[in-house]
Amino acid sequence: MQHLDHDRLVFLALGESEADNGESTHLGTCALCRAEVATLQQVAGLGTETQGLADLPDPPEHVWQGIEAQVRAAEAGPARAETRRQQIPGQGLAATAEQTAGMTAGRPAGTTDEQVSGVTAEPTVTRLDSARRSRRGSGWSRWVATAVTAAAAAAVGVVGTVSVLRPDDPTPTPTPVVVASAPLAAYGATPPAAKGNARVFQDGQLHLHVANLPRVPGYYEVWLINPTTMEMFSVGTLGGGPDALLPLPPNVDLKSYSVVDVSAERYDNNTRHSGDSLLRGSLTG
């Protein structure tokens, strides 16, 4: 089966374009591509939570240096693998040394061994602070695709590490204390099959479980609403899975902000509620 191009999956996950009929058919039958889109949507949704952080000071220089080192290592890996594939089977060390010596003797002045052999020892790395200043055109699109992919890979890596280090931890997980809960039902024009439930734990976290939400070109956002004044604030975003655990602000008044709302949002840099509510329910406890 021919899978969809990775860059195309990134743009579909970001909501920058709609899937055509062929892509929709493929996503409906290919679990691998659907899972990748879901992961990318979850990472992109997390990115929307940082929209208000543009005025924060830049991270320390050593942070960027560490990221650049990771990128350099990742880019150098394929070049080394390609060099090994191009070597002729059975060619001994003496023949390789003779070829290297011949190329060195006839190379132009000022060139290096890596330039003569066609292998770059240290790939050119674009400074990340420069990339952040270039957010227009195809370069920025490629940067978005790379950043989302890297973040998704990092998230998967963390989960895998925890699973390996503690595969059979016998310590039982304590059952969280629920202080308020709400059944979530389809709202407005949402298909009736959509549903969910919300639980507020004693430690100040909101757990949501949803099912049968309609597909949207953007992402799902969770809100708490005061039904008297209709004032609201965002709690966070849902990823591609059915469950989410979101921290609530300290000292939140759940008696006033008692309505849990799940909305469909677009990647439009607008932090306000879209007006398109999919699920709603009132907390009781």
Please state the pTM of the whole predicted model.
Answer: 0.43
The DSSP H or E segment spanning 240 is none
Q: Has residue 156 got a pLDDT over 60?
A: no
Please say if the pLDDT value at position 24 is more than 60. yes
pLDDT at 165 over 70: no
Torsion of CA 211, 214, 218, 222, to 10 degrees: -40
For the stretch 29-87, pLDDT in tens is 887 888 887 888 778 777 666 655 555 667 777 777 888 888 888 777 666 655 555 55
Please give the residue that has the higher pLDDT: either 209 or 93.
209
Query: What does the pLDDT read at residue 87?
Result: 54
Q: Where are the alpha helices (DSSP H) in the chain?
A: 6-14, 21-29, 31-48, 61-86, 93-105, 113-117, 128-132, 137-165
Q: Parallel, antiparallel, or unpaired for β 232-238 and 277-282?
A: unpaired
Of 229, 239, 225, 230, whose CA–CA distance to 184 is shortest?
225
**Is domain 178-282 in CATH 2.60.40, yes or no?**
yes
pLDDT for res 114: 46
| Backbone φ and ψ of 155, nearest 5° | -65, -45
Q: What is the pLDDT of residues 89-135, one digit of tens each?
A: 544 444 444 444 444 444 444 455 544 444 444 444 444 444 444 43
For residue range 215-232, list pLDDT tens digits in order.
Answer: 999 999 999 999 999 999
Our CA angle for 48, 45, 40, nearest 5°, is: 135
Q: What is the per-residue burial (b if ≥16 Cβ within 10 Å, else e) of 184-195?
A: bebbeebeeebb
pLDDT the model gives residue 34: 80
φ, ψ for residue 8 (rounded to 5)?
-65, -40
**What's the mean per-residue pLDDT of the chain?**
74
What token pair was written down for 211? 């099912």
* pLDDT tens per residue across span 76-90: 766 665 555 555 454
**167-181 average pLDDT score:** 76
